[in-house]
Amino acid sequence: GIISASMKHDYLIRVLGANEKVRGFAVDTKGIVEHARLIHHNTPLASAILGRLMSAGLMMGQMLKSKEDKLTVQLLGDGPFKHAIITSNLAGTVRGYVSNPGVELPLRKDGHLDVSRAIGNGSLTVIRDMGLKDPYVSSIDLTSGEIAEDLTYYFAQSEQTPSSVGLGVLVDVDQTILASGGFLLQLMPNTDQKTIDQLEKNIKNFVGVTPYLSQGHSLEEMMDVLFEGFDHEVTDTMDVSWKCNCSFERGKEVLATLKREEIVNMIEEGKPVEVNCDFCQSHYRYDIEDLKEVLSHIDEQAK
């Protein structure tokens, strides 16, 4: 019914199956992508790009080891979107933006949003910040620009893990999000050929993430289809949500990374300064007293 459909929340499941030779993640991000659309005024294309990246990021965030670790996935292209970035974590929160959320392009001949043309040629970079001095950074050149295929390639190249990634965002004519989500399947080492063949068959026969979810199916049902012919069980279920960790204090820390003379100039101009968060469009205002505090912090650090 309408009520139960609107009550459905975003969530993520983790599945282990095929004699523990295959692990899977699936995520429903409809609410998160709609929230991002409202904040950033995303066109359907921007929703498609950001939604796919955020779904992927939430699943990849589950591969982090510690609660403090941070995952960043960045897309850089020479197409009209230029740049998209998301951050996620083990707790299942995500945020992100595209640098050019107003871009529209004609639909592809098959009626789909032309994501690969919107991104163009470029690279996909994964950054895992585990609180060490240097974060782990790995980058690949885009081969398809459809994001899911590029991530499949990323896992093969950078992590030597055979994977299959499916991502989708379905946008209504009024630009609201009808469905959004994804799956990620990974083979454990030494998986036998029979298992691989069956899994490939299942993936090939699968109708696709958004056609399936928009019919009202659950993630559990999606995994039943992808694990057809295998034993499998859901080992974890969690809520996922949009969350930005910016704050007035963090904005001050950003100001403190500027050159001393820049802060001095701001104080001399006597005008309050605004710091904007690209992720959530929050604006933080710093008056002269705040700037003086930043300046004394910079001087303190220089001692």
The 10 Å CB-count burial string (b at 16+, else e) for 48-57 is: bbbbbbbbbb
Q: Which is nearer to Zn ion, 15 or 54 (CB)?
A: 54
Q: Contact between 86 and Zn ion (CB under 5 A)?
A: no
Q: Contact between 244 and Zn ion (CB under 5 A)?
A: yes
Q: Which is nearer to Zn ion, 73 or 148 (CB)?
A: 73
Among 71, 246, 273, 291, binds Zn ion (CB under 5 A): 246
Number of residues this chain uses to bind Zn ion (CB under 5 A): 6
Whole-number minimum distance, CB 36 to Zn ion, in Å? 12
Whole-number minimum distance, CB 125 to Zn ion, in Å? 21
CA distances from 147 to 1, 8, 12, 56, 263 (A): 33, 26, 19, 9, 40
With CA atoms as reference, report the closest residue to 165 among 124, 106, 214, 119: 124
Q: Pick the stretch among 4-12, 37-45, 203-211, 243-251 that binds Zn ion (CB under 5 A).
A: 243-251
Q: Contact between 94 and Zn ion (CB under 5 A)?
A: no
Give the span between the Cα atoms of 172 and 282, in whole angstroms: 27
Q: Which is nearer to Zn ion, 222 or 280 (CB)?
A: 280
Q: Which is nearer to Zn ion, 235 or 247 (CB)?
A: 247
Q: Pick the stretch among 163-171, 206-214, 233-241, 277-285 that binds Zn ion (CB under 5 A).
A: 277-285
Q: Contact between 97 and Zn ion (CB under 5 A)?
A: no
Place of tokens 């974590």: 89
Give the span between the Cα atoms of 236 and 13, in whole angstroms: 6
Read off the DSSP letter of residue 188.
Answer: P
Among 73, 86, 280, 294, binds Zn ion (CB under 5 A): 280
Among 279, 284, 294, 298, binds Zn ion (CB under 5 A): 279
Give the span between the Cα atoms of 236 and 58, in whole angstroms: 14
Residues 6+ apart with CB under 8 A from 125: 72, 73, 74, 75, 76, 137, 138, 139
The 10 Å CB-count burial string (b at 16+, else e) for 69-95 is: bbbbbbbbbebbbbebbbbbbbebbbb
Whole-number minimum distance, CB 138 to Zn ion, in Å? 26
Q: Using CB under 5 A as the criterion, which residues of the chain lie in contact with Zn ion when the complex forms?
A: 244, 246, 277, 279-280, 282
